Structure 1
């Protein structure tokens, strides 16, 4: 599945394009570093393997592509020690695949289904099959997330989402969007949100 996109997603030919697994790892590494996503944090992954393969979402799912995505996710998760969870497709109401131990630790509501490519999606099915004791949660409030192929993961992110543009804008042929979250700011006109020694842009959007 060759792609003509370079790391910036500009469409120019790349001499040695990273594999899907490597692309996935690079995206998650950038997100984890920018959002300070470390031990104990939850990162949701939503992906259309059809879009990664260059066809319209829901028309060409592939477990082989899902396995490559999982490989990249696992590498980043091991490095930064976050918990990856995986969004199923709309046919399972976008339920979340995760290890049962995490579901119980977070006190989430379990739902009953076994994801398959035709109902859950290839990524959800592959993740479920790869876990030692998989379970489906109705929803989750993740600290960060990566959306590969515009599958819409926002319903499973904590407030407040901060969009983050990684240098790699495509995985395979699928557009990548990502975000990390921060606690909502509280207070009124006297509230201070940064220490004086902290610097940062005053621009929005």
Structure 2
């Protein structure tokens, strides 16, 4: 069920607008909340693996994935080192573990990135927040929340957003 819910939400996010090669998807996930618990503590790595496997199968390799850690690591993000260097992102010196970073981030770092590095901040183009873990600080202006058909993955509430450019110029301006 978790795989199907994740696939549905990812599909809705990608179909909500056009995406281009090089865009960044920010994902954060509380496995404890997916399990239906209110407190954040270490969760079942198999649930994390199910969500990460689904991400890998649905998301194009042309989209940069950024996985947010929990507040114990100041919500730092895991990205590929080459991406971080090309974008001149500020690295931080930590490695996520289930007790500090979260089960989802720890597994992503260990098994789903080829050359992972943590960075302090990013401005993503779209995002999925599984368990209401607060990804807004890592989305570029202007995030537009999506109305999802499926708003739950397991016991976790999910919100998703795509970002659009700022509309400037007032009543006489023309937009694409």
**What's the TM-score once normalised by structure 1's chain length?**
0.81
Q: Which residue of 2 aligns with 1:172?
A: 154
Which segment drifts farther, 62-71 or 154-163? 62-71
Q: Look up the match of 2:88.
A: 107
Structure 2 equivalent of residue 63 of structure 1: 45
- 1:46: which partner in 2? 28
- Asked if 1 retains the 8 angstrom alpha-carbon contact of 2:68 and 2:105, the reply is yes
Matched-pair contact (CA < 8 Å) for 1:32–1:38: no
Secondary structure of residue in 1 paired with 2:89 = coil
User: What SS is found at the alignment partner of 1:86?
Assistant: strand
Gaps of 5+ in 1: 1-18, 195-205
Greater RCO (Cα-Cα under 8 Å, separation 6 or more) = 2
Bigger radius of gyration, 1 or 2?
1
Instruction: Give the length in aligned residue pairs.
Output: 175
Hey, what does 1:149 align to over in structure 2? 131
Task: Report what 1:93 is aligned to.
Answer: 74
Residue pair 2:91, 2:118 contacting (<8 A) in 1 also:
yes
After TM superposition, list the pairs within 5 Å mapping 1:155-194 onto structure 2: 155-194=137-176
Supply the distance in 2 between the matched residues of 1:87 and 1:23 (Cα, whole angstroms). 20
Shift of 1:39: 2.1
Secondary structure, counterpart of 1:43 in structure 2: strand
Q: In structure 1, how many angstroms separate the alpha carbons of the residues matched to 2:82 and 2:119?
A: 12
- Superposition map of 1:128-147 within 5 A: 128-130=109-111, 131-147=113-129
Q: Cα RMSD between the aligned structures?
A: 1.4
Contact 2:42 2:103 in 1 (8 A): no
Structure 1 residue 84 corresponds to structure 2 residue 65: yes
Query: Can you give the 5+ residue segments of structure 2 that lack an aligned partner in the other structure?
Result: none
* TM-score (structure 2 length as normaliser): 0.94
Q: Kindly indicate whether residue 88 of structure 2 is the aligned counterpart of residue 116 of structure 1.
A: no
Alpha-carbon distance in 1 for matches of 2:20, 2:129: 19
Moved over 3 A (4+): none
CA distance in 1, matches of 2:41, 2:110: 22
